[in-house]
Amino acid sequence: MRPVLALLALETEARALARHLELSAVPGTLPRWSGGLLHLACVGLRASRLSAAAAPGGALVVSAGVCGALAPQLEVGALVVPEVVLGPDGTRHATADVPGLLRRGALATVDDVVGDGRAKTRLWLDTGALAVDMESAAVLAWAAARGLSAAVVRGVADTAARGVPADLAAVVAADGRLRPMRAVAAALARPGAVADALALRRGTAAALRTVAAALGRLVRAPGER
């Protein structure tokens, strides 16, 4: 059986997945968790800390975590496993055909948070992608440069009608850690910020449950032995 290295943007996402999958924290440059063949690491927003990641020999690399829906039919908690990732520069990155994962469609990786439903609609019409994130293109390119297979396993945290407001996006630092004082400032400055934050938190929790189940199936898939 080959090891699986799941790379996530936010430390809170990685911690939640580690709890779901009963993984233990391990020391290292990046926040990391491990258990058996499954390893998690937090590489920050836009995979900004990816250069510090290290993959076990022969590992399957997985860009994991949450994404935002672009296709109107995708609901919160839906699983997104794309066949191709569209990079911000237009580069297309094919994902590996991995036992235990049913791939379909495309995912778009962008440089900036998509803040509202109108922007999501424009991106959907421009790309035809089912969903959007900010890390998968970089993760797939990193894996390819090391001769490793790579896949994407993402859960939908917000529907096509909702985005992530800029003040809430600013709550997360580049390294994937939360900035508590930014959260307080957003709550005080904008009346709807608390409601938006709670909706995003619920969506993120549902998305990560879906991702945890998929990663669990992945490491148990017969073809991975």
Q: Which domains occur in the chain, in start order?
A: 4-224 (3.40.50.1580)
Report DSSP state, residue 1.
-
Report DSSP state, residue 204.
H
pLDDT at site 225: 43
pLDDT at site 180: 83
Tokens 């809170």: give the residue: 12
pLDDT at site 171: 87
| Tens digits of pLDDT across the chain (225 residues) | 789 999 999 999 999 999 999 999 999 889 999 999 999 999 999 999 999 999 888 899 999 999 999 999 999 999 999 999 999 999 999 999 999 899 999 999 999 999 899 999 999 999 999 999 999 999 999 999 999 999 999 999 999 999 888 888 888 888 888 888 888 888 888 888 889 889 999 999 999 999 999 999 888 766 554
pLDDT at site 215: 95
* Residues 6 or more apart in contact with residue 40 via CB below 8 angstroms: 5, 6, 7, 8, 14, 17, 18, 21, 23, 32, 33, 34, 64
